[in-house]
Each structure stands twice: as structure tokens, then as C-alpha cells.
Chain A
């Protein structure tokens, strides 16, 4: 029986069309390779702050100082910092083994200094246990402090052991990568549709700024410095709708007057950017009130991932369904493949075109609201050159600029590739201008490969 199953499995594996698989999912592989390379490029010695490391450290302190010895825990603070988490584990482990934790200080070096200075002079402190930041402080300052407070004279210093781990693969960093591409990836959905129809939209970067400014202004008008949640929603809606209308106008100019999309959107790009600046008195961002509520979209994280990332994923699923299961999706491909043939076979070409530009504008507006939420302000400088990143994501994702071909999920992978490259290069401390060169090279390679694929088919 088992032999037979293996045979079948082998046969089915053999039957798989690897070429097609690679063609369809080639960029997923590229993404994985990139992730591996970035992991190796960012391997670094880091302090071990896991519960296990805390236990290990506690038993070391115990073995050298004996039960009941007085110890102090000192770490760098921060509401969501790594220090307090480590301190909590540390305190538990130290008390479990029978040491006496007299203080658990989480804050700046100054807080540590005060705690050490104020430690009772008649109770010798056996040890201070710190994270790697406060360890530096203690190494430099403890001798001096000991002169003022004799209880510190015999204090030994302990800090965590080190382990080697790629910075890139830290959970926080992977979440950052997703958060950083969310805006680009959302707009790239609209851009994919536009490019599949054979067009282009250069205005999305400026629309981000326009939407962010309209959103901030509307919220300011509705609720002043202390807007309610409904003010925030209405303001955001205003930003999105304004950009959707602009997108519709763009689509109209492209279809009715048959002006090339490149030209129309170039014009809209300048107009929207200029309007964004004109709407505000100062070129600084206009702050948005009610931070607790408004930051939900940009930097909130209710589902493990950031909310903006969840929104992005939902939009991708919806767009995928639209493009693969509905007639509008087939129309978009048809218009891009051969507009004349599409028209003759009854596809409402003009309406489809207006729709894709409207959708692209709408998503750019949404991207603007996301940006405003990330920055808690409407910044007319926002979204500078983002249009090029969006186009890059679409192209790297395998959509042909000639139109007619492209996949929604390919674009998501394209956006991820761009995000991973940028993040990895930042983590590897590569200088800015070198980053530009590498980034440009990767885009060129992607397009080159696309061309080769088309020619060899």
C-alpha cells in the first residue's frame, strides 16, 4: 500500500509543471531568497532577554551571592520597551531562587542613579542586575556612587548573556516591514488595475498629501482640537471621497478627450500637490486631535498585526476576488489586452477605464488617511515620490506595463520585496545613496526579466 502511495506521489510530483509554477510564483521565491539573505546580512550579537535567560542569570547571581542577598534590578524603561519585560522576568526568577529584590527600577539612567543613591546606607547591596543599557551606566557610575553610599561598595554587576540572532527576523521588525509597506501596497492595488488597462497614474503620491490635508482640515473644522470618533470618520471619508472624485476626473480626461494617461496624471500630480499646500496656511503638517482614536488605523494593532496591515490584506483578498471571479475583472483584462476587440465584444471600455482611475484615486485617498493617521497630522509634503514606489511594486510583481497581464497577489509580493529590500538595507546600515543604487538595480532586473519572459514565450 505504502509503496503504491509513494509511486503515486512521485508521479504527481513529476506531473507538476515546474516551469509554470516558477513563472507564476517566481517572485515569491525571490522574496524568500531576499529574506534569507537579509537575515544573514543582519546577524548580530544581542543580549538574551528571554525568560530562560533571566532564570540563568538569576542562578548565577544566587551561586555567587547566596540566598537572601539583597539585589537591585535596573533596566531602561518605556511603556512598550524590552527593558520592563525583561525586568519582570528577572524579578520573578530572582525571587524564586530566594534572593531579596529590594528595588526594580525601570527608567532613565537618572532613575537608576536616584535608586542607588537612596539605597539604605546600612544594608549592603550584594548585586545590581541590569539590561545592556543600564549596564553601561553602572560600569561607569557605580564606583563614584559607592563613595557616597558605602552600601554599594561591594555590589557586583550582572547583565544578560549574549546570543546571536538576525535583527531582520525579530518579530517586531517583521511587523515593521508590513506596516511600512501598507500604504504603498494598498495604492498598488489600484495602480495594478490601471496598468493592466495599459495606463499609468503618476498622481497617487500627491493624492496622498491632498487626502491627508483634506482629512486633517475637515476634522479640524468639524471638531477642532478635540474631535469625536464620528468627526474623525467623516473627515477621513472627505479625504477619500475627494481623491476618488479627482480619480474620476482623471479617468474622464483619459477616456473622453483621449489624452494619454501619463500626461493627464502628470498634470493632476502637480495640481494636487499645489492644492495640498494652498489649503494650509503653513507648510508644516496640521495636527489632528484625539490621538487615541485616530491612530487606530495607522499604528494601532488589535489583531497581532497592525490594523493598517489587516486592512491591506482584506483589500487584497477583495481585489483578488474582483479580478478573478467577476465580470468587471475580466473587462479590465480585456480592455488592457485589446481595447478595440473589447469594445466590439460589448465591453463598456470607457466606463471600465473611468472605474479603474476612480478606484486608484480612492485607494490613494485611503493611503492618505493611513498616512495622516501614522503621522497624526495632515502633511502637504507627504507621499513625495511614492508614486514611483507604487509603480515599482506593481512592475516587480510581474504586471506588464504594456497592459493586459498582471496578478493582484503578484503586486503584494512586489510590495513585500520592496519593503524587505529597504528595511534590510537600513538594518545593515547601508548608506542612503548606495541604497538608491541597489533599489534601482533590483527594479531594472525585475523589468528585464519580465521582458525576457515575454520574448521567450
Chain B
């Protein structure tokens, strides 16, 4: 019986690992296709011949760029990843992408594994801006440069070589301006769906409020009044719940600002359920396909959009500058741009 146990277990493990092996090698094949092109013409020229016993740089991958975002199930981070990969492969580097699923412990362990693999550089979207610190310091100790995208690392003593993100405050200001356009001279009562645990989202609300407060200054009529700020958790479910509750408390709500697309779509579901969709205007943030689609359908009024494609490419460009030993500006903030129904109607990506 026990022999049976042993065999069963080992066969099953073997099968599982075989699957694992296949998955791994398949990915490897996909990657190794590119990366040959750019390393080519180095042997000729004035710099002397290449007598190296090891990598000659001609046909080989130059190194590995490892990417650990908050999660890959959020399209925002996978779009960054896709463009990061495309740009890295253009430059002759392989990309290793992993998913910590919002868990900073998992993310730290992934960083441990990157160090063991001795990667060229790490691109990180911290799951927690403080708790990821020790993992970053370990990478620092191993001599591996760490770059952040979207969110920053705020741990003391953790060295980040470069950062590319959205100018969230400026994006929030755009959202505020869009809100003023949406409500017109009449003004109205506004619900804000925030996500306080994400610094980027706090900045969006700050920028939004700055514009709204400036608008209200010295006005007696047509004031835009933020009547509630509730947690939208950045997701559809919580966005729906919080909005449904707010609609009970404020029957005369006129507009909603949600800090990202999923919570805005949740808010729309609640508004639709209360049959107020003709009156309540929603301003969102992000620019995911779902959000743009909702703008086209008129469910969302307008939203400042981020540019994850640019983020993915620009972070690799920073890494290339680092690799070449050149000087570069440590922080690049990409401005958000406002996306309205007029843009959506002409967007070739939407059908």
C-alpha cells in the first residue's frame, strides 16, 4: 500500500513538474527569438578586438530585465509589461515577468529569486511602498539596479535608480476641469470615490480638489460641493456599494469623481440601478479599454488617461542609459491627457 502511495505521489509530482518544465521552456523559446539584432557590430571598429572567452555579445541575449508589478491581472500593469518587453527585446534584453498578486511578501521573495538569477536590472511597482524596502536593499547589496514604475518606493535607505510615472496631481487637475465642464454654471453635489492606500490616487484627489476649490472661490451660486468622500477600493464591487450607499444618503447627487476605471464602472452600475444615469455625470481616471468604451457609450463623461505604453518604453530607455553609464534624470512624470466622447468616437481601437 505504501509503495503505492510512493509511486502515485512521485508520478503525479513528475507530471506536474513536466507541465512546469514545458511551460518554462515554451516561454524561453518565445523570448530567444529576438534580441540577436542589436548586439552585432561591436567587434569591428576602433575599440580593439573581442578576445573574450565568454559572451561575445553578437548572438546572445545581453541580460535579463525582471519586472514585478502589483499584479498582472490589472490590464494597466500588463500593458506596461508588454511595452517594456517589446522595448527591451529591441535592445537585446530578455524580460522576466512575475505576478505578486498585491502581496508584498511574495514580491520580496520574487526579488530574492531575481538576485539569485543575477539579473541585469529590476523594474518594480511596489505592493507596499514601505514594506518592500528590505527587498530593495538586498538588491542594492547585490549590485542590481532597481527602477520603479507608476508607484514609488518610500522606504528609507532603499536606493532607486530611476522612476517613470504618471503626473497624478496634474491628472487630478484635468479631472477637476472636466467636472466643471460637466456641471456647467449650475454647480452641484459631488461624490468622490477614493483609494487612500495608493499614494498615486491620493494625489489625483488632491489635484481634483485644488481645481474645484479654485472654481468655488468667491462664488455664491453654482458652487461644486463635495458632499462625500468614500472608499471605492479601486474596484468594481466596492465602487458599486459605496455609490449605492451615497445615493441613499444624498438623493440630489449630481456627479461622481472616481479615481480609476473599475470603481467608476461600479459607480455607474449603482447609478443605473437607481435610474439616475441621465442626470449623474461620472468622471473617471485611467484610460483602460473598458473605461474608454463607457465614455463612447456616454456612461462616463470624460477621464484623464494615463499612458502605460509610454511608461513601459521609457523605463527601458532609462535602463539603457544606466547600462551605458550615461547621466539621466532620475524621475520622469508623464502628463495625463483628457479623453472625452469626441476622442472616443474617433478612437480606432473602439468598435
Contacts and interface: CB of A to CB of B under 8 A. Distances in A.
B329 interface: no
A278 interface: no
Contacts of B310: none
Interface in A354-393: 371, 374-377, 379, 381-385
Contacts of B143: 76-78, 81-84, 106-107
Contact of A143 (B47, B103, B118): B47
A147 interface: yes
B13 A33 contact: yes
B20 A425 contact: yes
A122 interface: no
Contact of B1 (A30, A64, A375, A453): A453
Contact of B140 (A78, A112, A379, A384): A78
A151 to B, nearest CB: 11
Interface in A88-120: 106-114
Interface in A25-45: 26-27, 29-30, 33-34, 37-38, 40-41
Contact of A377 (B1, B47, B131, B325): B131
B21 interface: yes
B13 A445 contact: yes
A152 B108 CA distance: 41
Interface string B2-19: 111110111011101101
A33 B10 contact: yes
A193 interface: no
A132 B55 contact: yes
A403 to B, nearest CB: 20
B46 A153 contact: yes
B182 interface: no
A445 B99 CA distance: 25
A137 interface: yes
B45 A143 contact: yes
A198 to B, nearest CB: 23
B156 to A, nearest CB: 7
Contacts of A22: 2-3, 5-6
Interface stretch (A159-167, A236-244, A318-326): A159-167
A284 B53 contact: no
Contacts of B28: 429
B8 to A, nearest CB: 6
B54 A284 contact: no
Interface stretch (B109-117, B246-254, B300-308): B109-117
A427 interface: yes
Given A284-B130, A382-B105, A156 B49 contact: yes
A337 interface: no
Contacts of A456: 1, 4
B112 A176 contact: yes
A180 interface: yes
Interface in A274-316: 282-287, 291, 295, 298-299
Interface in A176-194: 176, 179-180
B47 A453 contact: no
A344 interface: no
B129 to A, nearest CB: 6
A438 B16 contact: yes
B5 A26 contact: yes
A376 B105 CA distance: 12
Interface residues of B, number: 85
A442 B54 CA distance: 40
B326 to A, nearest CB: 7
Contacts of B155: 287, 376-377
Given A291-B157, A382-B104, A432 B13 contact: no
A432 B196 contact: no
B39 A139 contact: yes
Contacts of A155: 47-48
Contacts of A427: 113, 116-117
Interface string A48-68: 000000000100100010000
Interface residues of A, number: 115
B62 A136 contact: yes
B98 interface: yes
Interface string B34-67: 0000010010011111111111110000110000
Interface string B115-158: 11110100000011111111000101111110000000011110
A140 B96 CA distance: 23
A106 B143 CA distance: 9
Given A80-B142, A81-B142, A299-B138, A173 B46 contact: no
B197 interface: yes
B160 to A, nearest CB: 13
B16 A429 contact: no
A414 B48 CA distance: 56
A77 B48 CA distance: 25
A113 B9 CA distance: 55
B148 to A, nearest CB: 15
A39 to B, nearest CB: 11
Contacts of A27: 9
B24 interface: yes
B2, B21, B98: most-surrounded residue (chain A CB, <10 A):
B2
Contacts of B51: 64, 156-158
B197 A284 contact: yes
Contacts of B105: 371, 374-375, 382-383
B5 A23 contact: yes
Interface of B: 1-6, 8-10, 12-14, 16-17, 19-21, 23-24, 27-28, 39, 42, 45-57, 62-63, 72, 96-99, 101-105, 108-110, 112-113, 115-118, 120, 127-134, 138, 140-145, 154-157, 196-197, 322-327
Given A146-B48, A156-B48, A438-B19, 12 more contacts: A26-B6, A47-B54, A110-B326, A113-B326, A153-B46, A162-B54, A375-B130, A375-B133, A377-B128, A381-B103, A382-B104, A430-B24
